Structures are given as C-alpha cells and as structure tokens.
C-alpha cells in the first residue's frame, strides 16, 4: 500500500544535492499528493474567479466549490459547516480566538495552557492576558516533557480557568494528549476549551463532537494541503457570540458612515478575498485522506515510529525526549552534548531532511534545559528504507563528531 | 400557466438565454405589488435583491393566496414560478410540495449563483414556515 | 503583442456554458499567466518545504526563494525589502495598519478617507475610531462620483487629520486619484498617509518613493498572482514603531512565561507559516510584469478603455458613472432603471463575465443613489473582440428588457 | 593553515559531507574561548547559534588579533576561516578584504541555510565595523 501511496507524492522522488531525499520534516509541513497539486493547477487554468456575489458562471462555480470544501471539512471533523471558519492557518486561527474571547476575560481570570505549547498557542494568550489582566497558568509536566494527566485534571478543578488551550499533539516531541478527558473536566467547570490540532489533524483525524471541545484550530499545509490556508471550528453559539476580528468586504451586512452591521458566523470572520485556490486544493487533500483506509495508515505510521525509536535507542549517547508511548510519530533527540544544528547539518549531506532547534517551543526547551533538539517527524509516506538511511547517516555523523 | 406548463415550457427551451428570457417574461405577467405592501416584515431575509412576499388564506380560509414582488426581473420570474407552485393549494397539499426540488429538477439551481440559489431557498423556507403555522 | 500575451493566460481560452469567455471581472481578480501557475506547481512538486530556521537543503532553498521575492517586490515598488510585509491580502494589510496606528489616535483625532473607498478601507478605520474615540471624515466628491481634488487639499489643510487613507484607484468606478498631490499636502500637516493600491498595483505600477506615502497595501490575486497573499509597504521607522499585531512563531525573538520579546519589522508582523507557494507564485507574476513593456501595455489598456466607453456612450439609456478621463479601465454603468443583476445575468448567457452590485462600496452607491451598477473591468489581456462581443450582448439584452 | 591553503583544501574536496567535515576539523583546531571571555558584549547579534568574538591589535598596536568561539562545531569551523582571513593583517589591509565574497567563492553561502548565511554576514560586518574604528 505504502509504495503505491508514495508514488502520489512527486517531491519524494526528487534528488536533493544529488542524494535521494529522505523527508523527515512533515511536522513543519507535509508534502502534497499530485491530486492536490492538480486541483490548484486546474483552478487557475480553468476555474479562476473571485467568490461570492458574482453573477457570472465562473464566479458562481468557484463559490460553489469553495463552500463545498467547507462542508467537506465539517464532515471530516464531524461538526456543522457554519461552525467552520477559513483562516490563513493555525496561527491566524489562534489569534482570532484569543482576540474574540478577550471580552470574556478580566483580571480574576485564568488562562490555562501547557508548557508544551507551540508559540502560536502561547503568545496570543499572553497578549490577551496583557489586554485584560487575566493570568496565564501552566499544566504540570515531567522533567522528560510528558504531561501529568491526573495532576492536570486536578489543577483544572482547583483553578477553574476561564479558558483551557492545549495542543492535541506536541509538535516538538510528538506526545499525544488525552484532551477529551481534560475537556470533560474543564467543561464541568464552565471552562472554554480550545484544542490546537495543527499536529493531530493528519495523524489522529479527530472527531470534534467526540472530543467535545469548544474550539479547534489547524493548518492545511500540515495535512497535505496548500500553504496559506487553515481554519477553525467553533461551537456555533460561542463562535457567533465573539466580536468581529478583521473587518472589510464580504463580512458585512451593511456599511455606512453612520454605522456598520456584520453578518453572522462564519461570514463575519472572513473579510476580503479568501485563499480560494488554497481552499480548493485542501478539498482535494480531504478527498485523498477520505479515500485511504485510515486505520491501516495509522497502524503503519505506528510501526514505522516503533522501528525508528528502537533503532535510535540502540545508539549509545542518544536521548529521546517526550512520550514514546502515545506519539504521533515525532522523535526529538539529542546526542550527548553535541549541538543539534551540527547533527542536522551533517544529516542533510546524506539527503536526510530533519529539523533542529527549539521548534517554536522555547518554554518547553527551557523546561528540558536544552537549547534545542534534532526532530525527525514521520508521515505515512515515509518508508522503512528512509529510516535505515537516516540511522546509517546518523552513525556516520556520530563517528565524525567523535573523531 | 400552471406549474406543469411552466416546467414543460422551460424544459423545451434550449440555452440559458432563452430560459432566462422566459423566466423574465413570467415575471412581467406577475402584477406589481402596491408600494404600500412593500413593508419591512414582507421582506424576505437572505435574498441579495429585495423580495417581498405575502401569504394568506383565501376568503373561505381554505386555500393559499400568495402575492410577491422583487426589484429584479429575473427574481420576479422565479417568484412567478414559486407562486404558480403554491397558489391555490390547500395547506396540507402545500406541505407535500418541495419547490426547491422543482427548481433543481429544472436545472435552475445549478445555474443560479449560489447566493441567488440561497435566496430561492430562503423564499421557500419562509413559505413553508408560514404554511406550517396555519395548522 | 496582445495576441501573444493572451496565449499566456490559459483561462481566457476555456469555454463557459459552451460560449467563448469574455472575462471582464479583473478588478475582482485577474487571470494568471501560465508562468505563475507553473511556479506554484514546481514549488509543490520539487521545492516544497517550510521556510526559516530549517537546516536542510529544501528548507534553505525555499527560504532563499521566499525572501528573494520580497526583494523583487521592493524593487518593483522602489522601496527597501525590510519595508515590505507579507500578508493574506489588501484587507489583512489594512487591518494590520489600522490596528498598528491606533496607538497614535485619541478622541481629538481625525481619520480622513474618501467616500469612494472599498469596505476594506472603511470598516477597519471605523473599528480604530471606535477603539480610540477618533472621528472619521470624508473627502468631497461630485454627484457623479469624482473626487474634488482642490477641495480635498483644502479640507486636509483645514482638518489636519492624523491619518489620510485613500485608494489610488477606485474599484467601483476605476477613477485614478492624484494621491501624490494629496500626500504632499498631508505630509506637511504631519498626517500619516495610507494608499490602498489594490487596484493601482497592476495598472499604474506605482513608484512609492515618488508617491511619498507612508503605507501602501495590495493583493497579489489582483495583479496576476495567486490567491491568499498580499502585502504592505510601510516607511521603516513608522512600520517598526507599530505594535505587533498577530503573534506566534517566527515573529518572536524570545518566548518565556515571564515575558516575550519580538523581532524587528518586517519579521514582527509575520507570525506563523506564510503562504509560501503564494509568494513564490507572485514572484513569477512580478517577473512576468517586469518582462513586458509597461508603457506599451498602459497605452493599449487606455485605447481599449476608450473604445469601450465610446461604444457604450452610443447606446441610449446607458449611464457611465465616475471619472472617464483618469481611469484604470473600469466602466461602471446603469441602463435606465433596470436592475444591474438582470443585465449581468443576461450578459453572462453570452459568455460575458461582468460584476454587478455594490462592489463593496455601499457608501459610494448611497452617495450615487444607486443600489448598484454593472461593472466591466479591463486588463491588458482583453481584446477589442471581447468588447465587440460585450456590446452586441448588451444590445440584445436591452432589446429583451424593452420587449 | 593560512586562508589560501584552507581555500585550496576545501575546493579540492568533492561533496558536502567532506567539506563540512573539513570545516568542522578547522573548528576543532581553534582553541576554546575561556568562559570568562564569553561576555554579552562579545556575542555577535544576528547569529542563530551563539558566537563570541574579540578583536584587538597586537602588543605593538599594529596587527589584528581575533579570537572567537561558537557552541556549534560547524560555525566554529566557519569562524576559523574568518579568523584565518583577518588575523595578523594590518587594519588597512583588512579593509581591502571581503571575507563574505570569499565564502561565496567557495560556494559556502549558497549551501548554508539563509539564516546561517546571515550569521556569517553579521560576523564579518562586526569585524569590518571594528576595523574601521581603529583608524
Ligand atoms: C480598492 C480595493 N481595496 C481593497 C480590496 C480588498 O482586497 P482583498 O479582497 O484582496 O483583500 C479590494 C478588492 O476588492 C479593492 O478593490
Ligand atoms: C502545534 C502547533 N501549533 C501551531 C502551529 C502554527 O501553525 P502555522 O505556522 O501553520 O500557523 C504549529 C506549526 O508549526 C504547530 O505545530
């Protein structure tokens, strides 16, 4: 199956610096299947027009396609289409939500996040806290970087936060969080729950109704889709209740110099010309995901991950950080005191593309007393051969460093 | 023309030029609503152009009477089709009718811009809601 | 020349409803040359990676390409690369600026705009006014919809506004504004000047140093580029002085729970993964524009425009709105009391794609006492034949309406 | 090795594996900076990893003396190349040298990630600024 799927991703077959590419940076952005590339291509060649309020055929067709993807996404996430807002990406989504919920915050209130969050799920809340006087608190994690679930539940009960915002899976370490059980407790405290699904969208395909969260954010480019588009889910009542964020065309009901009125959600949050080709390309990505057996795929990803963890664990001096039991397929490691950048640079000369650094999670790195890690992030289109190549390259690199 | 005649006529025409022309002609035959009846509560929400609609029972309190108008000729033509569908029905008969489906059958929904299609839907929803209120 | 250029735009050769398409909706979004489509395609097939801080070759190459387009754009606009911020589009840019300048506003201050503005250049200022107590005033225009330049200059001197924000060209009517002369007066009053270049970018290729504005915004999709990307220019001192807007990864210097510091502009305004393929596609659009003789093109567009205006003026009952002397090639017209939507719908059955409605300029329409117009917007890829087809279709439409 | 020897050696190696290995080896030969000298004002701004640099004149107040360190081996190797370029020059000689161009000639800039390339640029800019201050 995987050999067949790999053929759908043209980039996996390119040569980089005369080496066959082993792409292990899917947590930063995934590669795209040909069908997604074709959909974008076809849009510009045959269907390109601006959406909404156009009387001509191309514009009507583009609008229909664009809105159909909203419905497709809503089905994928098991929510209603009107609860889905298109944005520029997960960062844009989190900014919109943190701004939109600020009205509900005052200086008695607590925003609870985890120390594992991506900067995109920290800084917008810091800004909201700054505006409103609310306080940010963090959930407890182990020295290894694993969320302490029981203590977290306890803390939620004790603090009764106004907002709980956590990632479904950590981009730096790959840890999967049992967000459903946190949300369960939080909801009973009247807490508004936000899930950063940037990393879980592809690997865990969450059912948001089952999760029970109030908000959920993601980026298309991390789930086989184009860059420059993402979205958010918001429980309709809460969503529609938020004040408008960005303003301009499309999102208004009526503009006049004496006063302006806005549309209902999701319209009110979508001013201006959207990323039409991006949404349509993402529609093709959802079709692609819907067409493959996701349990088989998840199983394969887990086998690949085990294989990688086992091989790495056999190398003396390598330390793997985070939770290796519940993981979306991301390995973050260090080798002795060697600098992550040196390791990544040498690996790159073997065609092995990994990421090194703080992965936009500086507070987590500080907690782990690290300047950064080397991160190997898998997707279903990786092969066992890729991992063998990586392990060989890493051994060579270590030999060189130890010379 | 009753709704079957309209349907047959529209289906017999080939090309959207001829169809829209016919729709517009249907609108022309619809009498204009007196200005006094173009009240805010008669305005149907969710249409891009103005659509006013009144729905009531006839003097015997039996059959539906609909009158409607729009500031665009084509929407007025679409209203003529909707009125031909519902006018003179008994409320329980009207409940069985799905005018939106009828529009889809004629291929009109696919060809209308999505916002226009939503407008048609809004008009039909409003009729349905009022019909339900009669019972 | 034009026949040759038309070949570069695949969409112009598609059939819509079995009719040859006459695309007259370029003010809403332009069609894309094959080279732009190819650049996006090539990026996803051979170069796709996330930008910034990546040690691997693909990521480094994507970053280099992405930043090179910033420089290319800066050259195109005759400003410095660090004065260019990438955004989602003109609407996003205007929101960023209106938010960023709010700190400078108080309830004594005036924001001066024109009644011709697109909602994107009205509503964000209304929001800023709402936040700060500042007042919005408008420049004088004629009953016909033409800015009164002399009275406008006078008004600037009288009002001494804190901010002046006007469009370089009107999207609804096509009027070109002599923004340079307004800016000249405004700058001497210490006014911060913002130019909405969404419509002028392609047709007028403004030299921002010559214009002298403090800020300038545009959308790539209205200038041969992809959807979901745009940008702004800001004079560096003013730009860097603005507070951060959206927050998240990339735009930070250091994040910690005790406090976060931000990068300098443009970095501080670009959180999260940008629309990488969009920027790279837009780079190809700039290459395309740079490769053609722009004065010949501008001349052709003007001839086309004259031809259209002359033909329309010959039809009794047709009224053209706005300034037909200084115009980027947009004709906004009404026919007697007929509804714009009916005319546009009939034109569409002839393959003629025009826009109808208020064009996101409701205050302007109110001023003109119109519910909307039919808008024919030209680009250099339109032909005389397109215009003949339109005029014939319009005559048929009128015959039908008069039946 | 002086800078010409380094250049020849790097150019003779084929493949980036060998080149980076060589760069790292150059770094290994550079003595570590004592912790006491890793002061905040010695830190070069604009580098992704930590780079400390001291530049001074020798005891005769004539020729340049540079010492530097980094927490990454490869950057330390790049520093070794930069130091080999500038060390022992007279200030007016140093003004004629463009180490960045040298890196470009060796194809290193093209291969470094852009942020790394900017780091190299920042180091060289800092040296140039200090050299200018000597005159
Ligand atoms: C003059 C003007 N300003 C702003 C905009 C908003 O551009 P966008 O929808 O690409 O954000 C438009 C586009 O319609 C425009 O014509
Ligand atoms: C967990 C998490 N949240 C948020 C983001 C931000 O996503 P984007 O950069 O696409 O806005 C990322 C991407 O790195 C992520 O991994």
Nearest CA, atom 16, ligand 2 = A171
**Helices C123-132 and C90-100: angle between axes, nearest 10 degrees:** 20
Res A163: pLDDT: 98
Q: Which strands form A373-377's sheet, in the order they lie side by side? A: A318-321, A330-335, A373-377, A355-357
- State yes or no: pLDDT of B1 exceeds 80: no
Sign of CA dihedral D45, D48, D52, D58: negative
Ligand 2 center–CA C54 separation, angstroms: 15
Q: Which residues contact D68 (CB under 8 A, 6 or more apart)?
A: D30, D33, D51, D52, D53, D54, D79, D82, D83, D123
How far away is chain C from the Cα of A120, in angstroms, using its nearest Cα? 4
**Helices B114-133 and B73-86: angle between axes, nearest 10 degrees:** 30
How far away is chain A from the Cα of C278, in angstroms, using its nearest Cα? 7
- State yes or no: pLDDT of A16 exceeds 90: no
Mark which of A290, A311, A345 sits at the end of a domain. Answer: A290
The confidence band for D112, taking pLDDT boundaries of 50, 70 and 90, is confident
A213 and A284 co-located in one domain: yes
Res C61: pLDDT: 93
For the segment A101-122, the average pLDDT, to the nearest whole number, is 98
Residue of A nearest to C227 (CA): A275
In a domain, C31, yes or no: no
SS3 C118: coil
- State yes or no: pLDDT of B11 exceeds 80: yes
- State yes or no: pLDDT of B133 exceeds 90: no
Please state, rounded to an integer, the average pLDDT across all residues of chain B: 90
Q: Which two tokens stand for residue A325?
A: 């039991």
Q: Which two tokens stand for residue C294?
A: 């722009």
Which of the listed residues A119, A198, A332 should we mutate to test ligand 2's pocket, taking the one with most ligand atoms within 8 A of CB?
A198
Greater confidence, C383 or D14? C383
Greater confidence, A215 or D109? A215
The confidence band for D105, taking pLDDT boundaries of 50, 70 and 90, is confident
For the segment D80-92, the average pLDDT, to the nearest whole number, is 94
Task: Find the CATH number of the domain harbouring C258.
Answer: 3.40.640.10
For chain C, which ranges sit under pLDDT 70? none
Chain B residue numbers with beta carbons less than 8 Å from the beta carbon of A59 are 113
Please state, rounded to an integer, the average pLDDT across all residues of chain A: 97
In whole angstroms, give the CA distance from residue D30 to residue D27: 5
Mark which of A237, A267, A290 sits at the end of a domain. Answer: A290
Chain C residue numbers with beta carbons less than 8 Å from the beta carbon of B17 are 346, 349-350
In a domain, A31, yes or no: no
Give the tens place of pLDDT for each residue, A75-98: 999 999 999 999 999 999 999 999
Confirm if A69 and A266 have CB atoms less than 8 A apart: no
For the segment D41-48, the average pLDDT, to the nearest whole number, is 86
Q: Which range among B85-94, C119-128, D82-91 has the greatest average pLDDT? A: C119-128
Res C227: pLDDT: 98
Give the tens place of pLDDT for each residue, C169-221: 999 999 999 999 999 999 999 999 999 999 999 999 999 999 999 999 999 99
- State yes or no: pLDDT of A8 exceeds 80: yes
In a domain, C171, yes or no: yes
C339 and C214 co-located in one domain: no
Q: Please name the residues between 54 and 83 in chain A that touch chain C, using a CB distance below 8 Å.
A: 54-59
- Residue C228 CA: which ligand is closest? 1
Chain D residue numbers with beta carbons less than 8 Å from the beta carbon of A348 are 16
In whole angstroms, give the CA distance from residue C86 to residue A314: 45
Put simply, whether C373 touches A (Cβ < 8 Å) is: no
- State yes or no: pLDDT of A265 exceeds 90: yes
C156 and C259 co-located in one domain: yes
Chain B residue numbers with beta carbons less than 8 Å from the beta carbon of C346 are 17, 20
Counting the structural domains of chain C, the total is 2
Q: Please name the residues between 215 and 244 in chain A that touch chain C, using a CB distance below 8 Å.
A: 219, 221, 226-229, 244
Q: Which two tokens stand for residue A179?
A: 């967000």
Asked whether at least 3 C-beta pairs link D and B within 8 Å, the reply is no
A50 and A108 co-located in one domain: yes
Res B45: pLDDT: 85
Q: Which CATH number fits domain B3-35+43-133: 1.20.1530.20, 3.90.1010.10, 3.40.50.2000, 3.40.50.10800?
A: 3.90.1010.10
The confidence band for D135, taking pLDDT boundaries of 50, 70 and 90, is low
ipTM of the complex: 0.95
Res C33: pLDDT: 98
Confirm if A32 and C66 have CB atoms less than 8 A apart: no
Res A61: pLDDT: 93
**Owning domain of residue C132:** 37-290
The confidence band for A110, taking pLDDT boundaries of 50, 70 and 90, is very high
Res C303: pLDDT: 98
Put simply, whether C357 touches A (Cβ < 8 Å) is: yes
Chain B residue numbers with beta carbons less than 8 Å from the beta carbon of A67 are 114
In whole angstroms, give the CA distance from residue A57 to residue C388: 20
Q: Which residues of A are designated catalytic?
A: 360
Res B135: pLDDT: 67
Mark which of C249, C274, C290 sits at the end of a domain. Answer: C290
C156 and C204 co-located in one domain: yes
Cβ of C52 within 8 Å of Cβ of D115? The answer is: yes
Query: Which among C46, C54, C353 has the least Cβ separation from residue A28?
Result: C54
Put simply, whether C272 touches A (Cβ < 8 Å) is: yes
Question: From the alpha carbon of A230, which atom of ligand 2 is closest?
Answer: 10
Task: Find the CATH number of the domain harbouring C312.
Answer: 3.90.1150.10
Residues of D with CB under 8 A from a CB of A: 15-17, 20-21, 24-25, 48-49, 71-75
Res B104: pLDDT: 87
Give the tens place of pLDDT for each residue, A137-168: 999 999 999 999 999 999 999 999 999 999 99
Residues of A with CB under 8 A from a CB of B: 52-55, 57, 59-60, 63-64, 67
A71 and A112 co-located in one domain: yes
């Amino acid at each position: 199956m995987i050999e067949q799927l790999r053929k759908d991703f043209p980039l996996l077959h390119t040569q980089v610096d005369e080496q066959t590419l082993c792409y292990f940076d899917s947590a930063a952005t995934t590669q795209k299947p040909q069908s997604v590339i074709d959909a974008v291509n076809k849009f510009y060649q045959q269907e390109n027009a601006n959406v909404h309020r156009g009387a001509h055929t191309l514009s009507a067709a583009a609008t229909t396609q664009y809105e159909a993807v909203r419905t497709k996404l809503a089905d994928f996430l098991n929510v209603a289409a009107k609860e889905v807002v298109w944005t520029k990406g997960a960062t844009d989504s989190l900014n919109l939500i943190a701004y939109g919920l600020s009205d509900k915050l005052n200086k008695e209130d607590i925003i609870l996040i985890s120390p594992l969050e991506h900067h995109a799920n920290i800084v917008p809340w810091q800004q909201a806290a700054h505006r409103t006087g609310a306080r940010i608190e963090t959930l407890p994690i182990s020295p290894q970087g694993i969320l302490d679930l029981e203590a977290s539940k306890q803390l939620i009960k004790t603090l009764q936060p106004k907002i709980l915002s956590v990632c479904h899976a950590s981009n730096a370490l790959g840890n999967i969080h049992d967000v459903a059980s946190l949300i369960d407790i939080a909801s009973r405290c009247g807490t508004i729950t936000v899930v950063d699904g940037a990393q879980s969208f592809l690997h865990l395909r969450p059912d948001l109704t089952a999760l029970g969260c109030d908000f959920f954010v993601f980026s298309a480019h991390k789930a086989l889709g184009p860059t420059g588009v993402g979205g958010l889910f918001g429980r309709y009542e809460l969503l529609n209740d938020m004040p408008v964020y960005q303003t301009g065309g499309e999102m208004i009901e009526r503009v006049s110099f004496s006063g302006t009125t806005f549309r209902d959600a999701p319209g009110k949050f979508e001013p201006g010309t959207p990323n039409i080709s991006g949404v349509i390309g993402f529609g093709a990505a959802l079709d692609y995901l819907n067409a493959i057996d996701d349990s088989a795929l998840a199983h394969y990803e887990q086998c690949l991950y085990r294989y990688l963890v086992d091989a790495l664990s056999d190398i003396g001096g390598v330390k793997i950080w985070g939770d290796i039991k519940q993981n979306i397929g991301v390995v973050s490691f260090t080798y002795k005191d060697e600098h992550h950048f040196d390791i990544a640079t040498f690996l790159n000369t073997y065609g092995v593309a990994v990421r090194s650094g703080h992965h936009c999670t500086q507070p987590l790195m500080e907690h782990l007393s690290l300047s950064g890690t080397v991160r190997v992030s898998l997707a279903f289109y990786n092969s066992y051969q890729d991992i063998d190549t990586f392990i060989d390259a890493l051994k060579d690199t270590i030999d060189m460093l130890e010379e | 023309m009753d709704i079957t005649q309209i349907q047959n006529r529209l289906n017999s025409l080939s090309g959207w030029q001829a169809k829209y022309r016919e729709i517009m002609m249907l609108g022309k035959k619809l009498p204009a609503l007196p200005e006094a009846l173009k009240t805010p509560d008669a305005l149907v929400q969710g249409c891009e152009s103005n659509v006013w609609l009144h729905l009531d029972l006839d003097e015997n309190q039996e059959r539906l009477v609909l009158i409607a108008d729009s500031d665009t000729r084509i929407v007025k033509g679409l209203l003529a089709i909707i009125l031909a569908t519902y006018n003179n029905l008994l409320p329980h008969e009207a409940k069985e009718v799905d005018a939106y489906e009828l529009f889809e059958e004629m291929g009109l929904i696919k060809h209308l811009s999505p916002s226009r299609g939503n407008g048609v839907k809004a008009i039909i929803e409003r009729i349905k809601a009022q019909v339900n209120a009669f019972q």
